[in-house]
Copies of this chain bind each other. A is one copy, B any other.
Amino acid sequence: MAPQDPHFASRVRESFGRQKAMALIGAALGMVEPGRVEVALPWRDDLTQQKGFIHGGIIGMIADTACGYAAFSLMPADCSLVTVEYKINILAPARGSLVARGEVIRPGRTLTVTRGEVYSEDGKHIASMQQTLMMLPGTPDTPE
* Given A20-B47, A57-B60: A85 touches B90 (CB 8 Å cut-off): yes
Total identical chains: 4
A118 to chain B, nearest CB (A): 12
A88-B89 in contact (CB<8A): no
Once bound together, how far apart are the Cα atoms of A81 and B144, in whole Å?
Answer: 31
B19-A46 in contact (CB<8A): no
List residues of chain B with CB within 8 A of the CB of A64.
56-57, 60
A115 at the interface (CB under 8 A from B): yes
Instruction: Choose among A51, A58, A88, A111 the residue with the greatest number of B CB atoms under 10 Å from its CB.
Output: A51
List residues of chain B with CB within 8 A of the CB of A19.
48-50, 55
A98 at the interface (CB under 8 A from B): no
List residues of chain B with CB within 8 A of the CB of A85.
85, 87-90, 113, 132
A102 to chain B, nearest CB (A): 12
A137 to chain B, nearest CB (A): 12
B52-A89 in contact (CB<8A): no
A24-B21 in contact (CB<8A): no
Other than the known A20-B46, A110-B134, what 12 A-B pairs have Cβ atoms closer than 8 Å?
Answer: A19-B49, A19-B50, A19-B55, A21-B46, A21-B48, A21-B55, A51-B80, A60-B61, A84-B90, A84-B132, A85-B89, A85-B113
